[in-house]
Amino acid sequence: MTLDLPSERTLRAQMVEVGRRLYARGLINGGEGNLSARLSERRLLCTPAGVNKGFLREEDLVVTELDGSPQNELKLPSSELLLHLACYQERADCLAVVHAHPPHAVALTLMKAPLIPCMPEAITALGEVPTAPYATPGGPAVAEAVRPLLKGADCVLMERHGALAMGRGLKSLLDACDKMEMLEGVARVQWLASRHVPPTPLPEDERRVLGEQRKRGLTRAAKARRPWDLD
């Protein structure tokens, strides 16, 4: 298999930019959140443990093998790397992962409320967004909690623990970041509406139309540039 990926230099710059975007938009605080992207078939670039992602430098980033072992033992990856590895293992088209703590989305999980397709963007940009049950962060339990949901969703909410978004294509990190921002936007609208009336999903017929639009868009993107050459 041959990977079609941006250069390491490009990915390092994108990862720093995504960390700043997430911090500026209040989607991560302090040392929260973590990012990763494929460098090659067997190597990943990821954020280090215990660092504020809003103030990353390119030299802070960590290169690991696909099993999570760092190439430099003095630079440790995020403790949530197992969560990222589950995404790459379950989805061949996943080239980047963003884990953040979008506040309105997390609030929905505390309310035991699913993210509903109340806006067109919730369907065309995100698709189905399931919620994984709570598991202790930083270990294998949280990765196994989300694993069954990864094949059918690009974004997953994690009860009391934020959300993850998977990115595709040459701008995979930016793609995942855009999904995270959209996820929080939809959750915020749903939360605001719930203060006045119970929010409702779009009609079923309209959801079907928008779902077909999403499928066509994903098909066009895959034909334009496949991340994996399976020949």
Q: CA nearest 108: which of 69, 145, 73, 155?
A: 155
> What is Dmax (Cα atoms) for the chain?
55
Q: pLDDT tens-digit profile of 98-117? A: 999 999 999 999 999 999 99
Cα separation, 56 vs 67, in Å, equals 24
Residue 224 has pLDDT above 70, yes or no: no
pLDDT of residue 222: 64
Q: pLDDT tens-digit profile of 25-65? A: 999 999 999 999 999 989 999 999 889 999 999 999 999 99
Region 20-29: mean pLDDT is 97
H/E/C letters for each residue in 42-80?
CEEEECECCCCHHHCCHHHCEEEECCCCECCCCCCECCC
Residue 138 has pLDDT above 90, yes or no: no
Q: pLDDT tens-digit profile of 163-216? A: 999 999 889 999 999 999 999 999 999 999 999 988 999 989 999 999 898 888
Query: When comparing pLDDT for 221 and 88, which is higher?
Result: 88
CATH number, domain containing residue 99:
3.40.225.10
Cα separation, 40 vs 116, in Å, equals 36
Angle at 138 between CA 188 and CA 163, to 5 degrees: 20
Q: In the numeric block, which tokens belong to residue 57? A: 């430098």
Question: Domain span at residue 69?
Answer: 2-229
The DSSP string of 99-121 is EE--HHHHHHHHTT-PPP--SHH
Residue 227 has pLDDT above 70, yes or no: no
Categorize the per-residue pLDDT at 4 as very low, low, confident or very high, splitting at 50, 70 and 90: confident
pLDDT of residue 230: 32
pLDDT of residue 231: 30
**How much of the chain exceeds pLDDT 70, in percent?**
92
Q: In the numeric block, which tokens belong to residue 129? A: 């967004």
pLDDT of residue 34: 95
- What 6-14 contacts at long range (C-beta under 8 Å, 24+ apart), as own/partner pairs, is 6/170, 6/171, 8/39, 8/45, 11/37, 11/39, 11/45, 11/173, 12/45, 12/58, 12/61, 13/58, 14/171, 14/173, 14/174
Q: CA nearest 132: which of 111, 156, 110?
A: 156
Categorize the per-residue pLDDT at 217 as very low, low, confident or very high, splitting at 50, 70 and 90: confident
Task: Give the total number of structural domains in the chain.
Answer: 1
pLDDT of residue 5: 86
pTM of the predicted protein model: 0.91
Mean pLDDT in the chain? Answer: 90
The conformation of residue 12, written as its DSSP 8-state character, comes to H
pLDDT of residue 75: 78
pLDDT of residue 2: 54
Q: Do 85 and 66 form a contact (C-beta atoms < 8 A)?
A: yes
